[in-house]
Structure 1
Amino acid sequence: MKGQSKMAVVMASLLVGVASGTLAGVAHAQAQDMSAGDIIVTAQKREQNVQDVPLSVQVLGEAQLQANAVQDFNDLSRVSPSLSIRPAENPASANVAIRGVGTLAFSPGVEPSVAVILDDVALAFQSRAFTDLSDIERIEVLRGPQTTLYGKSASAGLINIVSKAPTKTLTASVRGMITTDDEQQIGAVLSGPLTDTLGFRTSVNYDDFKGNSRNLADGKTLNGRRYFSTRNKLRWNPTAELQADLAIDYADGRTTATRPFIELGDNAILRGNPAFTQDVFAPGITVDKDNTDVSIDFPTGNTYNDFAQSLRLSYDTGGPTIMSITAHDRYKSHDWFDSDDSAISSFQNFQYGHFDSEQFSQELRLISPGKDRFRYTLGAYYSNVDIGRDFYRGPLFSNANWDATNGSDLIAGFGQLEYDPLPGTTLIAGGRYSREKIDYVFTDLAASRVYAGRSSDSFGTYKLGIKQDVARDMNLYLTYATGHKGQAYDISSGFNQARADAGPVNPEKSDSLELGFRSQLLDRKVTLNVTVFNSNFRDFQTQAVENLADGTQNFRLTNVGKVRIRGLEMETSIRPVAGLTINGSLTYLDAKFKEFAGAACYVNQTAAQGCVGTPPRQDLSGKAMLISPKWKLAGNIDYAQPLGQGPLELVAQGAVTWQSKVVPLDQNPRTIQPEYAMVNIALGLRSADKSWQVMGFINNLFDQHYRYLINDVSNRYGTTAIQGYVPRDFHRYGGIRLSYSY
């Protein structure tokens, strides 16, 4: 950071912390009735006040998402310190981590450690979540193992996305946004009753951002996105006891990505060819830490479409509520990549492929009334997932040509019981038992070989806990939970007979001990929550990158012996006066590999640096995990002030995020992501009844340049060569948001 800018960022961070009474806090949803201080969530598959939930859960509402410029899934890590998201050229390869734990894997059949739930439906293919977040009521981030209630893809936590429901009166709204760097967004919502018992809601959203990286080979702008999405709901209430919700969602989009050089040594040549000097493979590019220019002839990108349907039936028997959730989803994507990183016409190597994912799921629940002394949530779950992937890379080097299918068939039963033996004391016990069958077929088209296999796994997880009220609006809880992520076949380039003979990679298992304090003070104007935790993972699944002598890379899925994560999460929300809300959050995270003796070496790592043996390996035991900054904080301020006695209000918003450095999985000192901070501000006018609003905003106020991923490709150039991916807010930009509703 530049000196003055860094000082301004630090001061802004401190102001948020001081105003909040602590350098931490949960950013609570503004969509709820904040006058009562109640936030209703469904974190435990029933509606509860978030302060009564014995979980570390953060709720993100519409106002906070807007203040932090959150438009798509990638942006969520800015507002949730325990959440880290690492995008990729292909969304299927993106990584989502909670408390430093997330699965990074190119194999299409490897499920994530962090589950994503959209309107009660688990997304089997996580990349489906990497779209826009329009028409969202709230987002709940549940930290720690959630396998007992949510299944095998939640061994590290989950993200629960809840979209807005049909309204009881006819409403309509339109919104738009335009920015100084040529992004345009427009959306509309229409909602209301069709009959006395049938309501609807439909929303559409379109966004077009050309990008913030120049391709000097053709003069075009890259690193952008374009997408269209629509959410549609019907809600039928034929009686007071019965409710049916039908949802149909569709999304279609396109992205481009770049990884410009940010460091390049003298006398660099591309893949050992003395004719391919920097003036040839990177003509006109000034290589430095702020570079965003590339020169390529096969732009990296991705197109996708998704069509999802779900039916949710709920019947209140007068005692327990019976619920059924049926869902189907079809996700397709096509990706392409310039693997020679140049525009040399005589030297062209590229890759492309397709993903095709289809999922069917059925869940049944029996939920007791929430006010009973003895409460229960019982259920059964079934899912069937089929994923197809074809891939080509070549023709000059690192050749690959294959297609593969992965299948998963799972059935599970689960339940959670809560009992109040005394007023203010709650005992908690839950369990889940699952059986899963997986299979694959891998066809190596280049070698005319076909491999196939199948396996099954039965497993159980459980949760125990106690919650104790210690005063009005104040409680303590202690929980112990286990998690499980299923076995997986390593289906990717480099698959061979040895991988086929090895069978699936072992399941990932976790356990977590969590102690939490929840409080609301001063007539619920102040919320202060503190959580401490200690988690252990065994056979943690991760992607190892092997850098070969010819400059190519081979990816393999592997199990890490043991991982240990412990830390502290502090949370606060303050409403000191009418119209002013101050939120903040802080996470301290100590995430380390306890046992990882066979890790791949980083590029050009020497024996003196710990790369030894045949094949060369390094011991990462005791080292920091991937995507786990030790410190991360976020805060935002939302203020509305009436202008005199008139019908107008002045609206001001501010948001700040900061995180410490991030060390890569292979511990390469050249690809450490330095600490950085981000400040966004907005100022505008709206009507007192909030029917219209005009906001001007500036994102990345102090123009802080950071990279969300840094690659070391020195083995391809004969000298130091580092590339850094460009985030959406790499440069400062401003804009105007407008909305109107009636």
Structure 2
Amino acid sequence: MNSKNKREHAAAFAVRPVALAVGLALASLAQAQDSAPAKEETKLESVVVTANKRAQNLQDVPAAITVLTDAVLQRNNVKDFDDLPALSPALSVSYSTQPGNYSINLRGIGTFSLGIGVEPDVAVVIDDIPYAMQANAFKNLNDVQRIEILKGPQSTLLGKSSIAGAVSITTKPIDGLWKTRASVLMSNDSEWRANASVSGALSDTVRMRLAVSKTDFPGVVRNLTDGGRMNGSNDTSVVGKLEWTPGDQWQVVFAPRAAKFEKNCCVTPFTFMSPGGVFANTPSLPASTVLKGINIGPGNVSVRNDFPAGGSADDVGAGLKAVYSFDDRGVLAGHTLASITSWSHYRMDDYQDGDGTDTDLGLLSFASKPAGFHGGQAYYGAFDVESRTQELRLTSPDKARLRYVLGLWYAKNNLARDFIRGPLLSPPAGIGTGVTYNSTAYNTNRAIFGQGSFDITPQTGVSLGLRYNREETGYTFTSIQPLPGSINKPGQFFRSDDDENKVTGKASLEHRFDPYTMAYVSYATGHKGKAYDLTSSFDANVARNMPVPGEDAKSYEAGVKMTLLNGAMALDLAAFRTNFTGFQQSASFMDTDGIFRTQLHSIGALRTQGIEADLGWRVNRQLVLNGAYAFTRATIRAFPNGPCYAVLNAAGTGTANAPQCAPNRAYGTGIFQDLAGATLTNAPKHKLNLSGQYDIPLERSYNAFVTGAYRFQSPVQYSLNQNPLTTQGSYGIFNLGFGIREKKDAYKLSFMVNNLFDKSYATNLAQAFRNGAWSTTALMVNTANWMPARDYKRYFTMRADFTF
């Protein structure tokens, strides 16, 4: 049995017992449905979602949606977006060299692209307002009430940046009576969080809510150069709401926000380096000296960096929502008309240690000549994004036989990217001058959309939706070459504009067999606009091939939603298949100068298909359980010019291209491999999570509780080129907590052991033969790196919550 089959066998072995247990439990529950009615107090709370731009019970929506309620978020100590994949099997996050290039994936689909000219495949929407840049989502989730994970194309209602799905975040409502809440969390590895909110009525017509949050975590990586820690984060955020209701028909909500957050991230410690490596072809700088104190091997979390890593961002913005409710007379009786306006400005300064050492480049020599430069190699730059949106939406009454929503949409996004990298190590030639560029991109979207549902009979209904979108895009790119001893001189300048019109739609048929069971089938199309590869690899040849064509998706889904045990359990099952054409994907590679680079590709076709299950169960008054499982196969169907990876040659003294790689003159002079059938990056086949809470009533004024959460993930590949050395094996993580709370929720004290069984795993892996920073002209050096997860080892937290 080969290693791949062994991994799949192990994954199946881990999942099948759980699936069998769930199946047996459901069979017994189905038999008990009539014979053992559940008591009123054991009913599961209904979950309201706004996936169709109207408030609906989750069990009435014909779509696969995972909902993370406030109770689930609090029970699992969710801080920011990085915590969400542990709670939703369909969701994952791909990490890159800096936070501006993170990617959110749904059902194995996401965009890993290092440039402002590429939109994400998964939209992030907060209170009906989408983020213009996905990186803005990776901050503290302050004052969040509910998170809806909408799987599959959502282009009809949410626009073209949701071709693979959307994450819709709803913040907490304003309280009718004055309430103040506060929470503090601390961990044994120096993390702390503090947040507070105040909410209530200022007058009969005006209410307000204000929430502030501060978090800090130094990180899991140790920097031996300065004794600090890396791969952590800190956030400070303020969000507010001011609501004015001048009459029964009007509601106006102004929601400003401001945040400052930093991720000192994306450092990848060495886990392997073959013997004989010297830094930058300098025999006097062997690895044992340059990396002094670092025990290279599996589990290493130490580095030596003399330049910061990560990004520091500022986000300010505001939304204004005005809703008018028509009275019971006239053509629009019972309708609502909403205007949603937003403005936001996001800026992130990013930086990275380019050589991964604290060595002074002035110690180097090339061809018996001194380097002529002091300091280290570094990358740094800035992202700047300004966005304006406007939506007008007419919504029909909820209880009519025909229900619909009609809308107009406008969005204008201006993005800019400045980047400097240098100097470059280029042994044996010397130290190069580096790379500098300035780029801008814009996109303007105008759309008209509508979606309606009609009850053919009281049990059977049909839904149809359509969106027409016009997009105008463009870019500028200026390359600047820093020349020693002179002012920077401009290099080449490129500019282009484009436009595109596109229609997307959705149709579904649903049938309710009884008040507790609904089945549906649906078909949806999605589209994402044209892209520009605005990275340091941009040149005249790249410009000639711009823009990269847009993506298209066709999705088929069938599901059933059941309410069991007289309301004590909700079980949602779905099967799906989505075909993508023209998928935009960046592939990474290590250049001969030791620099990490990427190139944007348009993959011919890919497919994601699988089954999903979401479970909520209030077993009794004391015990509540939540669970979700996803089986996903996200594979490439056509990509004949796929990127390659290197392997050792037969003599073991050098490298060769992988056996399946070969020249393909149809795509230029490079070496390619046909990736048809290959698995997409960071797309586990099996993913499972289970969580629950057991309340223990006590005689006094407080109760005790115990919480538990387990998640399992099968192996994942972190490189599009399918390098077998960048595969993370399967793993399971178990968290255990307990605490006490006052019966009227005046206070709660909780403790948690995270990663109870101390299982180590990586959120990213990299490997390179003949790494330019360490190999010499005569010696090949093999290196491997990893990015340890936040919970790569066991840690403990203590949390206190207060309400008054």
SS at match of 2:512: strand
Q: Which deviations, in whole Å up to 9, do the C-alpha atoms of 1:349-402 show, x marking residues without a partner?
A: 111000110000000111111111001111010000000110000113472101
Q: Map of 1:18-33 to 2, 5 A cutoff? A: 18=21
Q: Are 2:269 and 1:260 aligned? A: yes
Which residue of the partner structure matches residue 643 of structure 2? 600
SS at match of 2:247: coil
Which residue of the partner structure matches residue 3 of structure 1? none
Q: Are 2:300 and 1:312 aligned? A: no
Q: Map of 1:63-462 to 2, 5 A cutoff? A: 63-257=71-265, 258-318=267-327, 319-346=334-361, 348-397=376-425, 399-446=434-481, 448-462=491-505
Q: Map of 1:542-561 to 2, 5 A cutoff? A: 542-561=585-604
Shift of 1:238: 1.4
**Is the contact between residue 582 and residue 635 of structure 1 (CA under 8 Å) also seen in structure 2?**
yes
Shift of 1:160: 0.2
Which residue of the partner structure matches residue 519 of structure 1? 562
Which residue of the partner structure matches residue 610 of structure 1? 660
SS at match of 1:92: helix
Aligned mates of 1:687, 1:668 — CA distance in 2: 53
Greater C-alpha Rg: 2
**Is the contact between residue 123 and residue 166 of structure 2 (CA under 8 Å) also seen in structure 1?**
yes
Larger displacement relative to structure 2 (270-279 or 619-628): 270-279
Unaligned runs of 5+ in 1: 1-6, 25-32
- State the AA in 2 paired with 1:321: T
Aligned mates of 2:252, 2:525 — CA distance in 1: 33
- How many matched pairs? 725
**Is the contact between residue 155 and residue 525 of structure 2 (CA under 8 Å) also seen in structure 1?**
yes
Aligned mates of 1:13, 1:212 — CA distance in 2: 34
Distance 1:729 1:69, change over 3 A: farther
Q: Which deviations, in whole Å up to 9, do the C-alpha atoms of 1:57-83 show, x marking residues without a partner?
A: 010012222333321101110000000
Shift of 1:15: 7.6
Shift of 1:488: 1.3
Shift of 1:124: 1.2
- Match for residue 727 of structure 1 among 789, 796, 799: 789
Percent identity, aligned pairs only, is 34
SS at match of 1:342: coil
Distance 1:189 1:603, change over 3 A: farther
**Is the contact between residue 23 and residue 585 of structure 1 (CA under 8 Å) also seen in structure 2?**
no
Q: Which deviations, in whole Å up to 9, do the C-alpha atoms of 1:127-172 show, x marking residues without a partner?
A: 1111011211000000000000000000000000001011110000
Aligned mates of 2:204, 2:22 — CA distance in 1: 47
Aligned mates of 1:643, 1:161 — CA distance in 2: 36
Distance 1:578 1:120, change over 3 A: same
Aligned mates of 1:320, 1:149 — CA distance in 2: 18
SS at match of 1:569: strand
* TM-score, normalised via structure 1 length: 0.95
Larger displacement relative to structure 2 (60-69 or 375-384): 60-69
- State the AA in 2 paired with 1:675: S
Which residue of the partner structure matches residue 638 of structure 1? 693
Which residue of the partner structure matches residue 803 of structure 2? 741
Q: Are 2:544 and 1:536 aligned? A: no
Q: Which deviations, in whole Å up to 9, do the C-alpha atoms of 1:420-469 show, x marking residues without a partner?
A: 11111111111100001111111111152211110001001011110100
Aligned mates of 1:143, 1:516 — CA distance in 2: 12
Distance 1:378 1:600, change over 3 A: same
Shift of 1:651: 1.5
Larger displacement relative to structure 2 (698-707 or 546-555): 546-555
Q: Map of 1:38-57 to 2, 5 A cutoff? A: 38-57=46-65
Distance 1:166 1:596, change over 3 A: same
**Is the contact between residue 644 and residue 658 of structure 2 (CA under 8 Å) also seen in structure 1?**
no
Which residue of the partner structure matches residue 27 of structure 1? none
Q: Which deviations, in whole Å up to 9, do the C-alpha atoms of 1:506-559 show, x marking residues without a partner?
A: 000001000000000111111111100111000000002244333334322110
- State the AA in 1 paired with 2:795: Y
**Is the contact between residue 72 and residue 130 of structure 1 (CA under 8 Å) also seen in structure 2?**
yes
Which residue of the partner structure matches residue 485 of structure 1? 528
Shift of 1:89: 4.2
Distance 1:474 1:96, change over 3 A: same
Q: Which deviations, in whole Å up to 9, do the C-alpha atoms of 1:93-144 show, x marking residues without a partner?
A: 0011000000110011211000000111011111111101121100000000
Which residue of the partner structure matches residue 575 of structure 1? 618
Q: Are 2:706 and 1:628 aligned? A: no
Distance 1:462 1:472, change over 3 A: same
**Is the contact between residue 245 and residue 251 of structure 2 (CA under 8 Å) also seen in structure 1?**
yes
Aligned mates of 2:534, 2:567 — CA distance in 1: 52
Distance 1:345 1:682, change over 3 A: same
- State the AA in 1 paired with 2:382: H
**Is the contact between residue 67 and residue 636 of structure 1 (CA under 8 Å) also seen in structure 2?**
no
Which residue of the partner structure matches residue 28 of structure 1? none
Q: Pick 1 or 2: higher relative contact order, CA cutoff 8 A, min separation 6.
A: 1
Aligned mates of 2:251, 2:312 — CA distance in 1: 36
- Match for residue 674 of structure 1 among 710, 714, 729: 729
- State the AA in 1 paired with 2:442: G
SS at match of 1:620: coil
Aligned mates of 1:508, 1:22 — CA distance in 2: 42
**Is the contact between residue 521 and residue 559 of structure 2 (CA under 8 Å) also seen in structure 1?**
yes
Larger displacement relative to structure 2 (396-405 or 602-611): 602-611
Aligned mates of 2:19, 2:636 — CA distance in 1: 34
Aligned mates of 1:177, 1:36 — CA distance in 2: 29
- Match for residue 749 of structure 2 among 694, 710, 713: 694
* TM-score, normalised via structure 2 length: 0.88
